Amino acid sequence: MTTLTRDEAMKALFSDRRLTLESMLEIENKERQLVPFILNPIQRDMQETSGIRDIYVKPGQVGATSIWAGDFTIDNITINGTVSVIISYDEFSAQRLLLKAKKFHQSIQRRIPTIPKLDHKSATELSYIDKDTGFYSSFYIFSARSYVMGRGEPIHNLLLDEYAFWPLGTHEAIWASAVQRVPLVLGTKIRVQSTANGEDNPFCEMYKTAKEGISLGVGRTQSVYKPHFYPWFIHPEYSMLVDSPFCLDGDTQYPLPNLQDDELSLMRLLINVFQVDEHEAMDKLRWRRYKKVEVASMRRSGETVFIFSQEYPEDDESCFLTASDQAYDSEIISQKLRNCYPAPIHKSMVNDRTGTSAGVDIWYDKEEGEIYLLSIDPGKGKSSESVAHVWCFKDGYVKDDREVFPEMKHCATLAGWYDEWEMAMYCKELGRYYNEAVIVPEDNLDIVSHLRDYPDLYIREDPRSGKSSRAIGWQTNVSTKPYMIT
């Protein structure tokens, strides 16, 4: 049997990051006990599959922040000059993380007393120092509101934690100052992670960009961030045994009674895809029932049940649907989202004035003799995105005594951060491509003035009376909005 020297053993230990985390670090569990930091399946996958730039959609309370705090701590005590930064969403979380990083250092120091000593320099900074060797590294932990580092010092490890919950206005400022200070050098890390918090925030947009790519006018370009998604049911703790005191009335039995369609679908997924046996699947459904009732208990109407899919996602589409007053049922929207697929065709619309082009995603190419409609939702230049859709409508009919419903087919999408005149130019080209499609702009900005030379524009009608006016485009207001969504 080969005997390792002390130095060889240390080298072997620190060359295996998971081994280092699980054998050197201790952490408080949910029973408030200090235990070895044994990674759960989600933490293990995060550590094993991470790249150099990553974005994570995760359930709540799975230890995602702890894995990076531990990972950064090990870098800070083993790599001289390391600067690690975690930016959390509030002051309380930042202070808790600072305390956790200190405890990680203490647990390693009990086993290896010769590691660099910890100096708690301020409310936001930890320093790791060995005066004999000149070793020095720093670990900063801020809230999104309090981030104040200078712009000169490089950052080697950066975590943007619970990014979807940061105060509005902080994302871009920190992106410019912190992210741009991480050098393009192997060994540097940027991790962006959060539970979902609706569609209307930078985290949702960034994650979907990582999945779908970026439209730069000449085709779709892959994001530099690697997307990761973790559903709640792969976390072992999210399960409830039949004898748990937290079981809902009627759920203290096997099998569970009154399984709903969504529960049956999830159970099939757990058994067939995730290789979970039926008893364990029932335990997970029992836990799910309790948590859904728990969040629904905030209101007598139960409308807050949508919070469950945000905090405990089952797929990376429905988790971003949070509005309780949606015009359409969230299950219908989720099903539509699951049926979506990338456009099989990509074309470029060239702007004759500038020579630039805009990329168009096409699901159904033009067909001779078909009539198309092109709708435009104009943005505000470089501050909000403009989007155009091409549609084809076909009338319903009766065949063999069976009614065939009218067909509404989404054929193509053009989207980008374009000025109004620029968007108008691209849309006119796209309209001409689709058999001189009728163009229907939203009449809330100046885009109509740039479309007047197009031969077939929608002339506004009163949605109640049907009378035509001389105005071009659809006007969105309190009176017309109900007609848009019904």
More confident residue, 252 or 213: 252
Average pLDDT over residues 376-402: 79
Query: Is 80 exceeded by the pLDDT of residue 93?
Result: yes
More confident residue, 229 or 121: 229
More confident residue, 218 or 272: 272
What number of other Cβ atoms are within 10 A of residue 383's Cβ?
7
Which residues 6+ apart lie within 8 Å of 23 measured at CB? 13, 36
Distance CA 235, CA 225 (A): 24
Percent of the chain with pLDDT over 70: 86
Residue 112 is classified by DSSP as -
pLDDT tens profile 203-223: 998 999 898 876 554 456 788
Q: Share the mean pLDDT of the chain.
A: 86
pLDDT tens profile 273-327: 999 999 999 999 999 999 999 988 887 666 677 788 889 999 988 888 765 456 6
| 267 and 260 Cβ atoms separated by less than 8 Å | no
Query: For position 358, what pLDDT does the model report?
Result: 87
Distance CA 407, CA 374 (A): 16
Query: For position 470, what pLDDT does the model report?
Result: 74
Query: For position 468, what pLDDT does the model report?
Result: 67
- Cα Rg of the chain (Å, integer): 28
Q: Which part of the chain is CATH 3.30.420.240?
A: 345-485
Query: Is 80 exceeded by the pLDDT of residue 405?
Result: no
Query: For position 70, what pLDDT does the model report?
Result: 96
Task: Show the CA angle centred on residue 366, arms to residues 360 and 368, nearest 5°.
Answer: 160
What number of other Cβ atoms are within 10 A of residue 386's Cβ?
25
Query: For position 116, what pLDDT does the model report?
Result: 92
Query: For position 340, what pLDDT does the model report?
Result: 79
For residue 83, the SS3 value is: strand
Strand partners, 411: none
Class of domain 10-229: alpha beta
Query: For position 324, what pLDDT does the model report?
Result: 47
Backbone angles phi, psi at 368, to 5 degrees: -60, 135
- Cα 48 → chain centroid: 20
Query: For position 12, what pLDDT does the model report?
Result: 72
Query: Is 90 exceeded by the pLDDT of residue 267?
Result: yes
Question: What is the residue-wise DSSP string for 198-252?
Answer: -SSSHHHHHHHHHHH-EE-SSSEE--SSEEEE--GGGSTTS---TT-TTPPTT-S
Query: Is 80 exceeded by the pLDDT of residue 186?
Result: yes
Q: Which amino acid is at 65?
A: T
As to burial, measured by CB atoms within 10 angstroms (0-12 exposed, 13-18 middle, 19+ buried), residue 1 is exposed
| 157 and 85 Cβ atoms separated by less than 8 Å | yes
More confident residue, 335 or 367: 367
This prediction has a pTM of: 0.73
Q: Which part of the chain is CATH 3.40.50.300?
A: 10-229
Distance CA 293, CA 23 (A): 39
- The domain made up of 345-485 has a fold known as Nucleotidyltransferase; domain 5 (3.30.420)
More confident residue, 220 or 110: 110
Query: For position 145, what pLDDT does the model report?
Result: 83
Average pLDDT over residues 236-240: 96
Query: Is 90 exceeded by the pLDDT of residue 389?
Result: yes
Residue that has been written with the tokens 């999945």 in this structure: 211
Task: Show the CA angle centred on residue 234, arms to residues 233 and 240, nearest 5°.
Answer: 50
Closest CA to 211 of 350, 108, 315: 315
Percent of the chain with pLDDT over 90: 53
Write out the two tokens for 287. 């836990």
More confident residue, 228 or 335: 228
Query: For position 11, what pLDDT does the model report?
Result: 73
| 448 and 463 Cβ atoms separated by less than 8 Å | no
Residue that has been written with the tokens 């989007």 in this structure: 387
Query: Is 70 exceeded by the pLDDT of residue 63?
Result: yes
| Sign of the torsion formed by the C-alpha atoms of 413, 418, 423 and 429 | negative
